[in-house]
């Protein structure tokens, strides 16, 4: 599926309604722009906890800690870097 849109004076582009509906996008929701070579991929921002579950769900790998423990460790490290 290909859609053509014009870039406005402020550099804005409208995401077509059928794409917003297909991706279940709503006003104020965050989306991600990913550059791949000379292309830009626009996608819905994923749930960080779901990403972590998928990332940790590698067959044959030993799990080290629960998702809550890992999240706590990441937040603690983030707080240390900011302080």
Q: pLDDT tens for residues 53-62?
A: 766 776 666 6
For 66-74, what is the mean pLDDT?
A: 78
Q: Domains plus CATH for the chain?
A: 1-46 (2.10.260.10), 48-82 (no CATH)
Distance CA 27, CA 60 (A): 41
Phi-psi region of 21 (alpha: psi -120 to 50; beta: other; left: phi over 0): alpha
Give 30-63 pLDDT, tens digit per residue: 888 889 899 988 888 877 777 677 667 766 666 6
């Amino acid at each position: 599926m290909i859609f053509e849109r014009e870039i406005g004076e402020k550099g804005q582009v409208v995401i077509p309604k059928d794409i917003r509906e297909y991706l279940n996008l709503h006003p104020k929701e965050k989306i991600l722009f990913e550059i791949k070579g000379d292309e830009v991929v626009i996608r819905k921002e994923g749930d960080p906890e779901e990403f972590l579950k998928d990332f940790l769900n590698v067959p044959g790998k030993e799990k080290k800690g629960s998702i809550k423990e890992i999240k706590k460790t990441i937040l603690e490290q983030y707080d240390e870097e900011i302080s």
